[in-house]
Structure 1
Amino acid sequence: LTLLYLAACPLFLWYLDGAVISMVSASVLLGLFALALWLVAEGSRLHAAYDAAEVAVHPRLPRKLAGSALVGVLVAILAATQFSETLPVLACGAIATGLCVAAFGADPMQDKGSNDPMVLQRQRTRDVSLSAMRLLADLDQKIDSLDDSELRHCTTAVRHVVERCLRALARDPQGLGPLCKPLMKFLDMALREADRLQVSWSDESRSFARQRYILKLAAMIEIFETRARRQRVAAGQDSFELEADLLLDRMKRAITD
């Protein structure tokens, strides 16, 4: 595209003409050409991002086509200075537009992956994973600020549950898709408990709030794990791998204790 701009070099000769109209015309035409090439470049960038994504929305403004059409208009304007008839002028503009489209291609005209349930499920799973990791980071930050090893241990148990669930979702996004909503609710409840603990940390109810946090998180983990098992069985899948993960996690916690 940068080299293509050199095709407009003859327009710079208009500045040597000395006439104001020639210099103004050259400036306008060079500006239009620069805009056309920028549209083509931006359209190519968006097209590359569209090709790389599993789910993508087609550009509302077809930038490559708009840039190619603008090049055609520019060529037609220049051809009008050489031809007195309309047909050759239009032919030159159409050929220039066609060559641009042939060289750089057309813009995507349809949304991609929006009708594929599997692609949408994988996209949703990725979004849930990112959101879950952000919530886990917030939970770790809240508990770390209290500087209590037992509370950190409880929070680490929550992290293990969530990471195990995310690994299962990555392996089977369709079968475990219904767990996404309970997972986010589980994390939201854990964050609310951490907020309640922080509020009570500096008053006389600190000991009670601390114990409530530990017991409530343990109960929430147990309920969530039970629901995960039932969800996997309801989906007609073997829960052996999930049970193995649960057992290994409990063994790690027992060794730590």
Structure 2
Amino acid sequence: MAQRFGGKHSPDGASGGLDDRPRDERPAYHGARVAPAGARSNVLFIPGVILALLSINDGAVGMAVGLAGAAVLVLGAWLLRDGLLAEAAFHDRKVARRPAIPRKIFAAALCGIGAGLAAWRSEPGLIAPLIFGGAAGALHLGAFGIDPMKDKGMEGIDTFTQDRVARVVNEAESYLSAMTDAVRRAGDRQVEARVERFVTKAREMIRTVEEDPRDLSGAKKFLSVYLMGARDATVKFADVFARSNDRAARSDYMMLLTDLEESFDKKTDKLLADNNEDLNVEIEVLRDRLQREGVHLDRR
């Protein structure tokens, strides 16, 4: 009797679409993310620029209306970019509040208003601007959708804990963003890729803390020390390497990232096991290591 072939690479494989391999066996691109605000949102800046250029040679009223429409279109495109970034951050997190400002909805409204002003410039009246403006707004919503309208993962968590989790996550994400920005100054693609892998490891732990915030104080201390140290070391390395192309500094920095990454792998489960005594020892060891590397952390 014929049997259907199956394996982890088959559509009905045992993995079920999840990457259940050990961390060490995952590829370098594991956790890579596509930029949420890409060309499809950036292209919406172009109509505003074109409208402004075409309005310069019009009369006073036509130029004023055209420039106003261009400003509205550019503002809408800018709001759309922010809305897409906020939506991506919302979907990346297990526990998240909906965006405070519905930027994508406002962007659609501004797109409609800008299109209406552009239509009025060519065909003064009420019917044409309403038709073109309504069509532009509807197409904008169809292309980009609306903002998340409900909180996610907040069931059973009180408001005070929600706010504390959000502050810890935002602080950790700010350190990771600063690391990514700083390492670009070094101009070394291999180091940038290595930092991206470290950021992916750190975000795995951040997501774990979001799912189980029972030891939030320990998590905050752990993340603050590790990520603040990693950020400061990255800034120091980028400045040195950009000036002198020091290969020894590069090697030391890569080794430090490896040590920190291994610490994240080992300590995620320990952090959630309420083993605070071991955690404090590990944090002090890390402080000593970073001080030897020339990174001094202010105790909080």
TM-score w.r.t. the length of structure 1 is 0.48
TM-score w.r.t. the length of structure 2 is 0.42
Q: Decide which structure has greater helix share.
A: 1
Structure with higher Rg: it is: 1
